[in-house]
Amino acid sequence: MTEGNSDTADSSGMAIDPLSANWGYYRVGAATRRLVAVSNRVTSTGGAKPDSGGLAVAIRSALQESGGVWFGWSGEVVEDPTDEPGIAVDGPLTFATLDLSPRDYDEYYIGYANRVLWPLFHYRSELVEFSRRYLAGYLRVNQMFARKLAPMLWAQDLVWVHDYHLIPLGEELRKLGRTQPIGFFLHTPFPAAELFRVLPNHRDLVRSLCAYDLVGFQTQQDLDGFRDYLMRWARAEELGRGVWQAFGRIVRAQVFPIGIDVCAVAAQAASADGTRHMGRLRQSVGNRTLMIGVDRLEESCYDAFAVVAVRMSALRLSAAISPSMPSFFKMAANSERRVATSLIAPSR
């Protein structure tokens, strides 16, 4: 058995089944494991707010059912971060959060994660701003996360790492001697192998992914890109059933599609139907067609400003070409740095 795989459920093919919904434990064969989720951001103990990102809402929902530990960045940037994670307990769920220094925030989060990986993983290579300084910050913060998390782990924990911010984390935990089963899920696309190789450190990132026991992708296309890289550029051996041997390790990769909580969204829509705001909207729209778009304007959505600018230009062009189609165009920004654009057109 290769490094990091002596304690994995995947090697035996045994399923991981949740136990009581009141506790953060999972059963793997005869073993009982605590679930430890790790992500870039951790929502407050007050719960995931409506404007929290999809990843945070998904993790919060999973941990509310099972309990466990949620480890990650607090969202705070301070000049002199404390050495120890801040700990808060909410029923069966424990939050462990770290603050970032301005330098770490700039190089790890704004720099490498969102000016390099985010645009590349979304096939926008022209927006990539690679720099060695950004890469050094990305690796430094992942090493720091591993150092802070490692002493908190129990021997039977099941560690679940999320998204492109933390790709090296599993490998850093392995370097510290942690042999617990560690899984990784990517919440963005994974680019085609030829595009991924644009990164100067592409091989290091794939080696880091192979430090995980299980790597999850959202679509078959993403998995195909990862497999293509392994077979062509990492000289991997395909062992069958989604398992490869690469970089001296065994890794399983699979597709795990995720989506919105349809019931919750439907309930929100139903509860809003009779509100004063909906009444005013119906009165103002009349029998015309309403088109609504919402775009987040923040550093993590790197090209959102460009997207909104293009959308505005297209809608203005439509208005010029067919004046009878759009009645008006409105743009509004709120304190959450989001821009809402709406276009009202006469009904056909």
Number of domains making up the chain? 2
Phi and psi dihedrals of 174, rounded to 5? -65, -40
> 312 and 330 in contact (C-beta within 8 Å)?
no
247 with 283, same domain?
A: no
Comparing 30-34, 37-41, 150-154, 253-257, the range with the smallest average pLDDT is 30-34
Per-position DSSP letters for 189-207, written without gaps between them: ----HHHHTTSTTHHHHHH
144 with 226, same domain?
A: yes
183 with 75, same domain?
A: yes
- List the end-to-end C-alpha distance of the chain, in Å, as a whole number: 66
22 with 116, same domain?
A: yes
pLDDT band at 301 (very low <50, low <70, confident <90, very high): low
User: Looking at the predicted structure, is the pLDDT value of residue 294 above 80?
Assistant: no
Higher confidence at residue 213 or residue 64?
213
Higher confidence at residue 125 or residue 338?
125
User: What is the reported pTM?
Assistant: 0.76
160 with 65, same domain?
A: yes
Q: Which two tokens stand for residue 78?
A: 């301070």
Higher confidence at residue 263 or residue 74?
74
> Among 253, 1, 41, which Cα is nearest to 162's?
41
- What is the pLDDT, as a whole number, of residue 56? 74
70 with 218, same domain?
A: yes
Quote the CA–CA distance of 112 and 40 in Å, as a whole number. 13
Quote the CA–CA distance of 127 and 116 in Å, as a whole number. 8
- Look at strands 25-28 and 249-255 and give their pairing: unpaired
Domain carrying residue 245 = 10-255
195 with 294, same domain?
A: no
- What is the pLDDT, as a whole number, of residue 236? 97
pLDDT band at 305 (very low <50, low <70, confident <90, very high): low
Quote the CA–CA distance of 93 and 33 in Å, as a whole number. 14
| Structural domain includes residue 20 | yes
- What is the pLDDT, as a whole number, of residue 29? 44
- What is the pLDDT, as a whole number, of residue 296? 58
Q: Which two tokens stand for residue 73?
A: 């960045």
User: Looking at the predicted structure, is the pLDDT value of residue 267 above 80?
Assistant: yes
